[in-house]
Amino acid sequence: MTTQLSEKVKELITKARIVSFSSWESEYLPEIITIFQMADDEGRYLTDRDLETIGSLSPQSVSKLEIARQLRDLAPDIVSEAREQVLTQFPGITEPGGALYPEVRSESCWRDFWHFLRCVSYGVAGERTDFLSESGMHYMELLYQELKVPLDAMLCGLEGLKNSSCKRSPAANLAPYFDRLISDMTRFT
């Protein structure tokens, strides 16, 4: 089944870029910011080469870069656990009449989880919880409203991403990175 997106939704998607590195400019070299920005522009996690370059330019970041690598490498498992948490807490959500039906809706939700984890991994790699764009979050809120995304299920999934990530790296103190995103999304109406 193919779902056509309205022009309004397409426009909101392009504006709902939730990551911003502008507040990092006083702490990081432009070369480092460029690496983060390129990864975000391409909608991907930081590569091993990206992480090595950042580490060589900012040696004090090496421990968090390894955590970011781990989040990237374990993303399929972490997202799967978050998905299972949503399906357990919201039985029937992917069935006819459920908020994530038809399948294209649920697949979009799981894809968003992958991207949320990607965005959090940038914050972890940069050791900064201020990785969100206020305007991008605003447009994401409008997008979610337009698409009637079940916010309670998305927040449940974010908590699932946080719990799954934290249990894999308990000493890394990952909760603040997730809490920033969860807090901002909790304010969506």
DSSP 78-128: HHHHHHHHHHHHSTTTTSTTSTT-SHHHHHHHHHHHHHHHHHHHHHHHHT-
Distance CA 59, CA 78 (A): 28
Residues 6+ apart with CB under 8 A from 159: 85, 178, 182
**109 in a known ligand binding site:** yes
The binding site for (2R,3E)-phycocyanobilin consists of 109
The binding site consists of 109
